[in-house]
Structure 1
Amino acid sequence: MTDLAAFPITARWPAQHPDRLQLYSFPTPNGVKVSIMLEETGLPYEAHAVNIGKDESWTPEFLALNPNGKIPAILDPNGPGGKPLALFESGAILVYLAEKTGEFLPADPAARYEALQWVFFQMASIGPMFGQVGFFHKFAGAAYEDKRPRERYATESKRLLGVLERRLEGRDWIMGEDYTIADIATLGWVRNLIGFYGAAELVDYATLANVPAWLERGLARPAVQRGLEIPARP
């Protein structure tokens, strides 16, 4: 049996199945990227809820795995060379799992890099901008009298949705016929923007056609439905 005792995080979140990949996460748009990917691939894994509402990602045990204090993170007992691998950053984890399983990332080098650019587009643009909309529209920032920050991020989010809308013209998925980690990375953020954040009207979501159809296709996938609820909220 694999011994994961060298990793402090296992003291706070013990592994019941140390031979399986360990997921430390919470069902946020970033967190569900990895749970969806794990559900899609069928890799055996064990999910641990790191309650960010209680600042559990800032505990010494979690910081030993991810010094940036953000979910998700993984600990794979069967990493490269058969050695345990600890990994954080959702984009890096998606690429790792895609390469580990040979799924959801094109094998052709040119198509692979094309898919990766859309993963990085989500990481660098969609996630940060949509998250700011959430802060200024739904959370503490909504009480600010000065609405210029909210409008700034809403305007940029509308632009980003336009980029995605044009990319999806004539395509079922971001890469065309093939569903990839580019879709997995992005689905949860678009869902959150118009759902949990309640910002559909703010970003003119009703004017789009390709993005809503793509989102509906993605949310209809059984693995996506399961992954959106993993780990279960306490």
Structure 2
Amino acid sequence: MPRPDIHLYTAATMNGYKPVIFLEEAGVPYDLTFIDFSKQEQKAPEYLKLNPNGKIPTIVDRSEGRAIFESGAILWHLAEKYGKFLSDDPMTRSETLQWLFFQVGHVGPMMGQAMYFQRIAAPNGHEEPFSIKRYVAESRRLMEVLNARLEGRDHIVGAYSIADMMIYPWARAYPWAGVEVDDLPHLAAWFDRIDARPAVRKALTIPKAQPQFWDAAADADAFVQENAARFASDVRGS
């Protein structure tokens, strides 16, 4: 049996789930290598040849003989390669790209910092109330932007697209970031629509399910300690 064109290197993180969602939604066969952060596999010399930034996700497209890193670039490549979840209309494509950059430049970094200061720095003895307040507030503002965008729309840009796939894993992790969204009805309705997609539900279990990210009712205490310990070396002064 021939090997799939796509080999995905990923982990169970918000960025790591994005290409899994695309591949599962598109029904594209792929190989998967789980990158174990606790073993610093993302910094291994062989992996750095594929992704010089030492992050996840990365794909190798065997049919083209090249590696692609950065989740936005990966989803754009897959959408063009397979002709799925990206409109042919130039205006819609431009809008899609704008919302991809909105996630890459704003939602991911701001919510990532909100998570870092609450879930990694604080449990490792570096409580930073000002930083937490700043990043949670900015993350909340971004959720308000999304809520406004989704008024009267089922999806971020036209039909379900890579814009939804890019933004969803980060925005949906609002409980982990400590961001309140109860009064944002259009955002909530969008979450419900994406939550209900079978391919998305499956993707969020690959390579590993982390319900603590998405579910405020999940028992996160042990996971918080495990997660904080995994990244303790990243906390300056620890």
Aligned counterpart for 1:162 among listed residues 114, 120, 144: 144
**Counterpart-to-counterpart distance in 2, 1:111 and 1:34:** 21
Letter in 2 for 1:144: H
2:212 aligns to what? none
Deviates more, 1:50-59 or 1:106-115: 50-59
Letter in 2 for 1:69: G
Aligned counterpart for 1:151 among listed residues 133, 138, 141: 133
Contact 2:7–2:59 under 8 Å retained in 1: yes
2:226 aligns to what? none
2:197 aligns to what? 221
Matches within 5 A, 1:37-186: 37-79=22-64, 84-141=65-122, 143-176=125-158, 178-186=159-167
SS at 1:70 equivalent: coil
Deviates more, 1:123-132 or 1:222-231: 222-231
Per-residue CA shift, 1:95-147, capped at 9, x if unaligned? 00000011111110011010110011001100000011101122223543440
Deviation of 1:225 after TM superposition, in Å, equals 0.9
User: What is the RMSD of the two structures over their aligned residues, measured on CA atoms?
Assistant: 1.6
Identity %: 47
2:213 aligns to what? none
SS at 1:78 equivalent: coil
Deviation of 1:198 after TM superposition, in Å, equals 5.6
Per-residue CA shift, 1:150-205, capped at 9, x if unaligned? 001011111101110000000111013x00000000111122222xx161xxx331
1:191 aligns to what? 172
SS at 2:104 equivalent: helix
SS at 1:206 equivalent: coil
Contact 1:134–1:193 under 8 Å retained in 2: no
Task: Tell me the number of residue pairs that the alignment of Structure 1 and Structure 2 aligns.
Answer: 208
SS at 1:111 equivalent: helix
Unaligned runs of 5+ in 1: 2-16
Per-residue CA shift, 1:58-97, capped at 9, x if unaligned? 0111111001000000011112xxxx12110000000000
Letter in 1 for 2:146: L
Contact 2:4–2:31 under 8 Å retained in 1: no
**Counterpart-to-counterpart distance in 2, 1:54 and 1:212:** 37
Letter in 2 for 1:58: K
Contact 1:191–1:215 under 8 Å retained in 2: yes
Q: Pick closer, same or farther for the CA change 1:172–1:30 going to 2, 3 Å.
A: same
Deviation of 1:229 after TM superposition, in Å, equals 1.5
Deviation of 1:20 after TM superposition, in Å, equals 3.3
Higher helix share: 2
**Counterpart-to-counterpart distance in 1, 2:145 and 2:56:** 27
2:236 aligns to what? none
TM-score, length of structure 2 as denominator length: 0.83
